[in-house]
Structures are given as structure tokens and as C-alpha cells.
A and B are shown apart, each in its own frame.
Chain A
Amino acid sequence: MKLLEISDLSTDLGGESQWQSVVKHISLTIESGQTYCLVGESGSGKSVTALSMMGLLPENKFRHPSGSIKLFTDNGNGQELLGGDNALMRSVRGGKIAMIFQEPMTSLNPVQTIGDQLDEALQIHRPDWTAEQRNERILAALKEVMIPEPESRIKEYPHRLSGGQRQRVMIAMALICEPALLIADEPTTALDVTVQAEILKLMRDLQRRYGMGMLFITHDFGVVAQIADIVGVMRYGELVETGPTSEVLRNPQHVYTQSLIAALPERLPRPSRPEKAHQTLLEVNDVAVHFPVRRGLLRRVVDHFRAVDGVSFEVNAGEVVALVGESGCGKTTLGRAILRLQDVTRGQILLNGQDITHLSAKEMRPLRRQMQVVFQDPGSSLNPRLPIHTSLVEPMRVQGIGANDTERTERAAAFLERVEMPTDSLWRYPHEFSGGQRQRLAIARALVLEPKFILCDEITSALDVSVQAGILKLLRQLVDEDNIGMLFITHNMGVVDYLADRMLVMHKAQFVESGDTDSVMQAPKSDYTRTLLAAVPRLDDQYLASVST
């Protein structure tokens, strides 16, 4: 049964005289009990499409040159949503169409209990219900989303819940009035892969039970494969391809879809890995980082939070070692400890055989050029107030590379060419670059010091797949050509598969598994690794062949 029909929808954003066309002539139909997945890279207009449906775009900052959005009721009457007045939209929002947002940490009100927030939606949309009826419904809703002990959770505040649990509460809130259509805007992007798998399963089950339609927005083809019935691929505000999921994934027709799927790290052609002489670059022996937990008036140390608890490994020159784990497992703290940005509680870190564990900041300074780092967030990895030139030349000057600034500028320009950036980037500021370009610049900053070891902390997780593919290729090339040792922190198994020679799996501050990438991927020994690998499918040939039609 037809539930929602969007025909020829266009949305412009801007204001006054400047309008930018963000969504261009989109038509799609969602039926009851069906999941329609909009997939596309950032800026493709998929979120704006969803916000247009809900009438949630910023006032006076948008217009619709064409199109209609019709919501159909059970008896087949269509109701036009586009340009609907506030009273109509209020009755639709929450009541007939519900929405879940990406960021679970900010989408719940921190000063209200979970019960109160759920109750508010019911009070508005079910005004004739008594308090007992509402309370019963809230309990049932929390049970449905499998929150443990819902009776006590009702009285708790959002900060007591983990990200996954908050997203479950958000789902409960969205479903509490039994909407006909659920819009989910990247609901699992901020979650760990194992949590993501559970949430996706929950959403699928609930959708079946209620028979509602779902519009699911994502950038991740792994998620598409798990949840979608119909998939629509968006680029630059246009819907370039639509079709049943299994067909689109296995046999994409449009060039753009083909390129997107080909850019998935698990589908990138494997580079040949030259055999290297076994030369240990970095050795980590039984390293632990404990943070004291202080309580009471006198700030006594009552306990220690064990962020990293006794791990040992080594990284060889010309080798990529992947460190895999979920958020909070201590992988970033370990990385900071190796760089001596964080003091270790016990253990030993050896760089080229030299113990650097307890060197002072002054003794560390000349060694800094041998170990460099690239961080996760492209938004904050470069100083926004300095042109790229200064960010690249200053470290060289401090470390005594190059005779004068002209020579250093030439070196910086050469490294920009190496990371495939135009040399006139030198005189620009970070805000003028996209996320992927900024990560390339951050890599260039690490490279100008000619380090022997580079730590990459989730450097591609904020990027689109096609951009990520380019960066991964570049990294592998740099490692092979310059014989650099690299520790690559990530949670994406596809990236590990493509890039890493060896992998370490970290769970609760300790390593649960380590070994060659291929052998761990093919035959994981620990249960945790198996869960991680099963959480989100890698769209390799093997998987695609198994997708049922």
C-alpha cells in the first residue's frame, strides 16, 4: 500500500537573492512495511530531503520551486505536506511521521528524565489518555526497544545511558505514537559497529511488527545491505539510481553507484606488498596507562581507571599495523602514550632500540621528528589561524631541516605534490579545504619531518568513501616507498583488510587477538573478534553473491 509519495521535489536553500539548489526534481514512493534507503555522500541533499518532508528546514531560508509530498492514510486519501501550515505539520510530526537523528548524545534533553520526555509526546498526541495508560505505554515502548529494567530507567536522566541506549530511547520516543512512517537520518553513524548491528536488527524487527514504512538515510553501503528493501542513490541533489537493494548492490547501472561501490575499502584492488627485511622500529612492552579516580573532600585516590592495561607489540619499518577496537577500549590513549603525549603508568616504549618511556620533554624534542601523528577530526587537525605554509614550515625550522625558509618552502611544496594537493595550497587557510583535503594536508605536515613512524588515529572515519579510498591508497604508497612504520587506529574492518599487514584487536584495555590481517580475518580466534567481523558485512564478492534476490 502506498504510504508516501514524493514527486518532482526541489528544494533551494539560501535566502534573499542567493539561492542554491540542494535537491533537484526527486521522485520516490515509500510503501507500508517497506524500507527505502537514501544513500549518498555528504552534501548530496539526503538530509535536506528528509527535513523538507517534516517541514523542519530553517524558516525563510528555503523554498520549493516544484514538487509535492503526499502522505496517504489507510483509506487511500492523500494529504499534501509541502507548504502545510503549522497546525497540520504539528499533527503530522510525531503522530504520523516520526524522526530519529544522528547524534544520540544531543538529541535527548539532559535536564528531563527519560520518562518525562516520552510522556510529553503522548500527552500531545493522545490527549484523552489517563496517566496510568500513558505510563503503561511508556513501559511497553521501553521494553520493545529492549532497554534493561525499564521501570527504573523511566526516572533516570539521559547522562546515565550509553550512546546505544540513548538511541534506543530515541527509537522508543519515535514509535510511541505508532507512526505510519519513520524517518531515520543516519541513526547508527555515531555508534560502535556492534551496537549499530543491534540497533539495525531492532529497527527491522519493530518495522515488521508495526508494518510501518521507513525512510533510512545513510552513507554506508554495509548498512544499506542490512536494512534496505529499496535503495536510492543521491548525488548533487539528484536521485541517480533506484532499485531493489540486491540488484543495485550486485549490478549497479549508474556510473556513480559503480564508483561508490568500487571505492569501498573491501573492494579496492589489493596492492602487492613487497617483502621487507624484518627490522623492528617500535617496540611496546607491557604498557599500561591508569588514570586515578579521586573522590571525597581530600581528593583521595580510591581507584584507578585502567585505560590501557598491559599491552605489548612491535611495529616494523615498512609495515602497517592496524589497531582495531570500539570506542572506549583505550586505543586512542595507547596511541597518545606511544607518542609520549600521555605518561604511562608502567611498561616500556622503545623507538629504534632506545627507551623513550621516561625521557623529559626536552630530551624528547629531537626524537619528535621520528614519530608523527595524524588525527581523526579534519576540522581541528590544522591551526585555523595559520596559513598551510606556516603549519608546514615551522616544524621543519624547529627540527633544523633545510638551510633557510626558501628551501623549506620548496620542500613543503614538494610534499604537497606528494599528497596530491596543489602547491598554491601553501598560502591558503584550513577552512578553504574540504575534510579529505585537510587530512591530506595533515599527512603532509607529518611527512615534512621525514618520520620513521606515523600514528594514524581514525583518520578516514569522518570522510566519504570515495575520499577515504584516495587517502588509503596514498598511505599504502607512502609506507611502501619510504619504508615508514605505521600504526593505524580504526574500527572499520574493511579499511584494516585493505591497508594493514598485521592487526591487533583491542577490547577493554587489553589485546584479545593479534596476527596477520588475512589469518585473523579468515579465522578469528576470539569471540570478540568474531562479533566485530559479523557486525557489519563487508561487501566483498563473497557477500554479494549471497545476497538473496
Chain B
Amino acid sequence: MTEQALNRHQQHRSKPWGKQVLAALLKRHSARIGLIWIGILVVIATFSPFLASSHPLYMLVDGKVSSPLLAHLSAQDWVWLAAFIFTVLLAKWSRPFWQKLLLWLGLVAVSAVVANTLASPPTLIIYEQYREMQAAGELDQVIYAPIPYSAKDYLRDYANTGVEAPLEATERTHWFGTDENGADVASRMIHASRIALGIGFIATGIALVIGTIIGGLMGYFSGIVDIIGMRLVEIFEAIPTLFLLLSFVAFFGRSIYMMMVIIGITAWSGYARYVRAEFLKLRQQDFVQAAVACGLPLRSILFRHMLPNGLAPLLVATSFGVASAILAEATLSFLGLGLIDDPSWGQLLNQAVQSSTFNWWLAVFPGGAIFMTVFAYNLLGEALRDAVDPHTNRSRRA
């Protein structure tokens, strides 16, 4: 058989399973709605400094062109932008998914190191200076972001600012009102979308990796490994996540990364159960036995022959897991134990009821965002369950 003939046959390639599931998923309206919302959130999170910032994007002072916004971009901003660009670039690359994922993680890690060494935004930030310069007529030309307030811009130059309802102030425009410190709610929500997305993905990612490895080993080896593993699962399921988070916050201070790790290492037990059950079932399947009989190494049997076949329930559980991680962070922030200065949706919710009056805009907008995001992930999970379930595709069979 010649090379040419082989290439000709390659044109008859059928769609791999992943693409089939994706196609079945995109046929469903609920999945589309969920994906569109998550997509919007990703774009907002990536470009949040360009959407809401007190620093002008472009300004002309005494014939000198400058961009304070770009100068004030932090290392974190650069990493988000880099990750977004890598995602777009890698999406077009025809390689197996796990190779792309590993490369993406590598590139993001490298860009994080580079950004942290190279990016040095000024540590002293004075938000008022631009408004003062504009008032004094020093700015010849200026372009602001669509929402000209940073998340931590407490509008000190206006004095005595506090909670204001949407569009209440006459000299400023706050579409979603301001919070108790006088910061723009819309701006804080935009910047908080990073935390919502980040905590969902990273916490669930950690849980997924731990759960898959432990569950896979339990399911494949069974016996004593299974017994020890299951006891470990039961121990971890007995730990109240919220209580653990509260104690860690009390002892070690508030850190978003610590929260991600704690949610991750307490949530893996569910995934481990799923993977274990799938592997126990798959172990007896003929193609796995045939793989053993071919002398394939354990790594290949576990990750090439068993894992992809047991992935379906895991995918569904993952999308619900992301939703619950977001809720956990929101709960913590609502209780006032989240981040202090950094924006978070839960923290805004907290302020809605803390003051003597009920500030509806502090409840409706962040609450709506949490609701929409959790709902989007749940819609996606539900649609995934339908897409990977073979029974729903069997109607055409006689």
C-alpha cells in the first residue's frame, strides 16, 4: 500500500467522539445560552481594565501622548490577556486536546513569570488626578474607558460619597449605583468576574485532577487500594468546606488563591466516586482486557483506554462543580470573610443588607450576575448529560 493511497483513505476520517459530543451539545438551545453567557463573562474578565478604569486609555497633555491605562496594567492583567490570546491561537491548531491543554498551561505559566518580572505598574495610584487635570483644562485630548471608574476608585475628590442609587448623582453617571465606599458598582462587578471565573475553573480543576487520579487507581486496582481510597473519600466528605474556609481565613488571612486550593482539595471526593464507578465497570470490558493482553503499559490502559470512556459523567459533574465553587466564594464574601479591598460579587451582596436601608441595586445586579453564571453552568451540565447519554440518541433504531 502506497503513501498516496493511505493519504487518500485519510479523507474518509470520521469525526472523533469529542467533536460529535460538541456538535450534539451545540444543537441544544440551553447549551448555547449557557455557553454564550460564559463566553461574554470570559471576554469581560479578560478586558476588564479596558472596560472600566479611571485611567484614560489615551490622553494628550502639552503635546505629549500617553496611555496611563496601559502603564497601570498589572501583571495579572497581562496574564489574562496572554491566556486569552493563547486560547484563540491554539483553538485553530489541529492537535489532540490534551496536548493543546498542556501547551496552554505551559504558556500561561511562562507568561505569568515574565509578567511578574517585567510589569511594574506604579504602586501609588491617584485616581483623582485625571479628573482634576480635566477640570483645570490641562487635558487637550482624552479617551476614557466605557465606564470611567476603577474598581477601587472611591471618588475621594467628590467628598462624602457613599451609597448612591443608580443615576442619582448629577455630575457623574453610575449605571448600577455606588457601594458604601463610593466605588462604582458596575466597575466592581466587571472586575469581580475574574474572581468568579477563576475560582470556578481553578478550584474545579484541582478537584478534578485529584479526583481522577485517586478514583482511577481505586477503580482499576480495587481490593486494598479501593478500601483505603474509599475511607479517604469518606473522611473528606465529612469535612464541612465552609467551616474549613472560615478557620483558614481566621488563621492565615484572606487570599483568593488559598480559597481556590481549599475548595479544590475538599471537592475532589465526588469526582473520585464517579471515576471509580466508571473504572470498575470498564475494567471488565473486553477492550480493556484486550489491551492488557496486548501488553500495553498501565499508563496507556488507564488514560487512553479507560479514562476517555469514563469521562461522560465526569464532564457533567464538572460543570455543576464549577457552579458550586462560585457559590461557595460568594457565600464567603457575603459573610464578610472574603477579600477586603478586591471586588467580588458576594461582597457587594453583603453591603446590600449591611446598611440600615435596603440598597436594591447592590442586591439585584451582583445577585443577578451570580444567578446567571450558576444557571449557565447548570444549563451546560444538563445539556452535556443529554449529549453524552447514548440513550437519547437511540430513537432512530428499530
Interface residues of A (CB under 8 A from B): 13-15, 18, 20, 22, 43, 45, 48, 61, 336, 339, 341, 364-369, 371-373, 375-377, 380-387, 391, 394-395, 398-399, 406, 409-410, 413-414, 423-424, 426-429, 432, 442, 445-446, 449
Contact = CB atoms under 8 A, between A and B. Distances in A.
A43 B397 CA distance: 10
A399 B396 CA distance: 41
Contacts of B305: 383, 386
Contacts of B286: 375-377, 380-381
B294 A368 contact: yes
Given A383-B309, A395-B296, A410-B1, A429 B16 contact: yes
B64 to A, nearest CB: 60
A43 B309 contact: no
Contacts of B1: 410, 413-414, 423
Given A384-B309, A385-B309, A427-B10, 16 more contacts: A341-B289, A365-B295, A365-B297, A366-B295, A368-B295, A369-B295, A375-B289, A381-B290, A384-B17, A394-B300, A395-B291, A398-B296, A399-B294, A426-B9, A427-B9, A427-B12
B6 interface: yes
Nearest to B397: A13
15 contacts: A20-B398, A43-B398, A341-B292, A367-B295, A375-B286, A375-B289, A383-B287, A383-B309, A385-B16, A387-B14, A424-B9, A426-B9, A427-B10, A428-B13, A449-B294
Contact of A406 (B3, B10, B14, B395): B3
B250 interface: no
A336 B14 CA distance: 34
A197 to B, nearest CB: 29
A12 to B, nearest CB: 10
A377 B308 CA distance: 20
Nearest to A61: B395
B304 interface: yes
Contacts of B14: 387, 427-429, 432
Interface residues of B, number: 31
A386 B304 contact: yes
Contacts of B289: 336, 341, 373, 375
Contacts of A45: 398
Interface in B348-398: 395-396, 398
B351 to A, nearest CB: 49
B293 interface: yes
B294 A372 contact: yes
Contacts of B173: none
Interface string B240-251: 000000000000
A10 B295 CA distance: 52
Contacts of B300: 394, 398
Given A43-B398, A413-B6, A427-B10, A387 B293 contact: no
Contact of B308 (A369, A385, A424, A445): A385
Given A398-B300, A429-B17, A424 B12 contact: yes
A428 B395 CA distance: 23
Contacts of A383: 287, 291, 305, 309
A382 B17 CA distance: 14
A15 B395 contact: yes
Contacts of B290: 373, 375, 381, 442, 445-446
A394 B296 contact: yes
Given A15-B395, A386-B304, A381 B287 contact: yes
Given A394-B300, A398-B300, A364 B287 contact: no
Interface string B288-327: 0111111111001000110011000000000000000000
Nearest to B298: A361
Contacts of A427: 9-10, 12-14
A385 B17 contact: yes
Given A380-B286, A383-B287, A368 B6 contact: no
B285 interface: yes
A366 B308 CA distance: 26
Contacts of B17: 384-385, 429
A529 to B, nearest CB: 29
Contacts of B9: 413, 423-424, 426-427
B294 A18 contact: no
B6 A409 contact: yes
Contacts of A18: 396
Contacts of A414: 1
Contacts of B12: 424, 427-428
A414 B2 CA distance: 11
Contacts of A413: 1, 6, 9
Give the one of B5, B9, B396, B398 with max A CB within 10 A: B398
A385 B396 CA distance: 22
